[in-house]
């Protein structure tokens, strides 16, 4: 938890309690359904929660915005972002149903009212529009944008343009080149000082 409170301070008691509950909930669920690697569960707040919140460090979503988390897995970045932005609607989609079972149980246990889930591939979602798509290391940028773009609405509620915000690591030069896109690239090292964030990036593709 100290990783979170070191970088973010403006939380209500409710939000702090929700963040604190994540460790036990994910540890318990991970015994039944493996959504986080065994070696990572002890580093939940650094490698999953704080990593997810890098989006909140760079983007302040306006109340009433809607965000789809593509390939949410165990609920990252969607669950930490939903705690951080209680007035923003988050739709967490994944093609693996048992992972969503964990997401739904965690959201219910901590009382998150702004999370919905859908067992579906992103490219199969119809008749839904969102302000932003977020994702964490799910697919190459080219694919992510192909899935995200049809789901994004053009009208902006925020001070920044609707689009895709994704978290990735390593050398991204070839992946970005192959995508034909020109994303804004933010090094997470510039936000968080922990070694874990070296060579980790946030990419923002505007609609």
Cα 51 from Cα 179, distance rounded (Å):
24
- 192 among annotated binding-site residues: no
Q: Check the CA dihedral 90-106-166-15 and report its sign.
A: positive
Name every residue whose Cβ is closer than 8 Å to that of residue 136 and which is 6 or more positions away in sequence.
51, 52, 71, 73, 76, 77, 166, 167
Closest CA to 197 of 19, 21, 51, 7: 51
Angle between helices 97-110 and 13-32 (to 10 degrees): 150
Tell me how many helices (H) and strands (E) the chain has: 8, 7
* 105 annotated ligand-binding residue: no
Residue 187 falls in which region: left (phi positive, over 0), alpha (psi -120 to 50) or beta: beta
- Ligand-binding annotation for 123, yes or no, is yes
CB 44 within 8 A of CB 52: no
Residues flagged as binding site for S-adenosyl-L-methionine:
71, 76, 122-123, 136
Residues flagged as binding site:
71, 76, 122-123, 136
């Amino acid at each position: 938890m100290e990783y979170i409170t070191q970088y973010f301070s403006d939380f209500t008691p409710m939000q702090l309690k929700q963040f604190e509950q994540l460790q036990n909930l994910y540890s318990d669920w991970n015994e039944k359904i493996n959504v986080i690697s065994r070696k990572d569960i002890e580093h939940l707040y650094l490698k999953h929660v704080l990593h997810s919140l890098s989006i909140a460090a760079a983007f302040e979503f306006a109340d009433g915005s809607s965000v789809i988390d593509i390939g949410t897995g165990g609920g990252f970045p969607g669950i930490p972002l939903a705690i951080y932005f209680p007035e923003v609607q988050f739709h967490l989609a994944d093609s693996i149903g048992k992972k969503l079972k964990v997401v739904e149980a965690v959201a219910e246990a901590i009382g998150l009212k702004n999370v919905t889930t859908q067992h579906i591939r992103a490219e199969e979602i119809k008749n839904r529009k969102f302000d932003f798509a977020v994702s964490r290391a799910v697919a190459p940028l080219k694919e992510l944008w192909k899935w995200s773009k049809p789901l994004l609405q053009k009208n902006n509620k925020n001070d920044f343009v609707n689009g895709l915000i994704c978290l990735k690591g390593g050398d991204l030069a070839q992946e970005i080149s192959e995508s034909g896109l020109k994303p804004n690239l933010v090094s997470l090292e510039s936000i968080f000082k922990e070694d874990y964030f070296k060579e980790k990036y946030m990419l923002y593709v505007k609609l």
